[in-house]
Amino acid sequence: MTSLNLGTPFHSSAGRRLRRLPEKPASRLAISCSSSLLSNKFKRAYTSVMIVPTGVGAAIGGYAGDALPVARALASVVDCLISHPNVLNAAMLYWPMPNVLYVEGYALDRFAEGLWALQPVHQNKVGLVLDAGIEEELRIRHLQVDATRASLGLPIVEYTVTDAALQVEKWIDPKSGQSTGRIQRPDSLLRAVETLVERSGVNAIAVVARFPDDDTDDDVENYRQGKGVDLLAGVEAVISHLVVQKFGIPCAHAPALLPFSLSPSLCPKSAAEEIGYTFLPCVLAGLSTAPQYLVQNFNSLGKDCMLASDVDSVILPIDACGGDGALAFASRKTTGFPML
């Protein structure tokens, strides 16, 4: 703050005559600056990473966007927060945060290892891939998310349908207790993505695969009551990893499911997945401004690109620290780097 001491009295120009104040000796112009108002351009941004591994039954982040309030709180106290779809997606719900980077899990691991950099963007061109195994009515329901383009102005460029059903399989790993799975036709998925990239120039991909309705009643009810493990999340990560590893662009997945029977008592942590026909809105919102991934030419990176060395702290569940990203951050040589 600048203060000026001119050393002379102030006289009113009003009609009434004011008594003249005693004059003080004139002093030199004094200027002082308050450091508290200096521009932040002289300070490096504080960057934090929030990781909640997918499909492990985390008490916070193991359900339908229930880690999002934590991410919002963190985003309010850091300059930049980097996180992934398992934290930021909440089916029909999402929360826009301009200082949060939406990074797919495989890309986040490569970033943590120092192999990839993150390039913030103004806006991506998003393409949508639909599984050929989705029934017609359910497919139409998912295409109605074109409302995100009309109402939110999201840059959804084009969609395509795979040339074969992806045939998703899911299960719980008996050793780790983590949900996982596979798709029988990864070739069909990758061809569909390639078509969108080459034909329409998209640089972010949303995938909707038809998931089997083979969960037991107990599994479904446990999840709806905020217990157990998200049976879908593990193979969702497998699907997005395939795309990111092959094409090096942002990707996120939303499952296509038949609606569950109505339940009058749902755990709020799971309820976001039951207020609509599709989980796509949060995925499209996240991908629209997700950072691009830079794999080469680190020496020519712009000033706004982010490297693992820019990260100041990592937040993750206390008993879920064995993932590639967490281990990579933990192995950094930087002293005083907190893992919280």
**Pairwise CA distance, residues 58 & 258, whole Å:** 25
Q: Are 129 and 205 in contact (CB under 8 A)?
A: yes
CB neighbourhood size of 205 (10 A): 27
Q: Which of 268, 266, 273 is nearest to 221 (CA)?
A: 266
Q: Which two tokens stand for residue 96?
A: 């826009």
pLDDT band at 261 (very low <50, low <70, confident <90, very high): confident
Is 70 exceeded by the pLDDT of residue 175? Answer: yes
Q: Are 237 and 185 in contact (CB under 8 A)?
A: no
Range among 12-21, 197-206, 330-339 with highest mean pLDDT value: 197-206
Share of the chain above pLDDT 90, in %: 54
Q: Is 335 helix (H, G, I), strand (E, B) or coil?
A: coil
pLDDT band at 271 (very low <50, low <70, confident <90, very high): confident
262 vs 13, higher pLDDT: 262
Share of the chain above pLDDT 70, in %: 84
Q: Is 56 helix (H, G, I), strand (E, B) or coil?
A: coil
pTM of the model: 0.83
Is 70 exceeded by the pLDDT of residue 28? Answer: no
Region 206-213: what's the mean pLDDT? Answer: 94
Residue 44 has what pLDDT? 81
Q: Which of 103, 52, 83 is nearest to 244 (CA)?
A: 103
Is 90 exceeded by the pLDDT of residue 73? Answer: yes
Is 70 exceeded by the pLDDT of residue 12? Answer: no
Relative to beta strand 117-119, strand 292-294 is antiparallel
Helices 233-247, 105-112: axis angle to 10 degrees equals 60
Region 267-276: what's the mean pLDDT? Answer: 87
pLDDT-wise least confident of 9-18, 34-43, 215-224: 9-18
pLDDT band at 337 (very low <50, low <70, confident <90, very high): low
The mean predicted confidence, pLDDT, of the chain is: 84
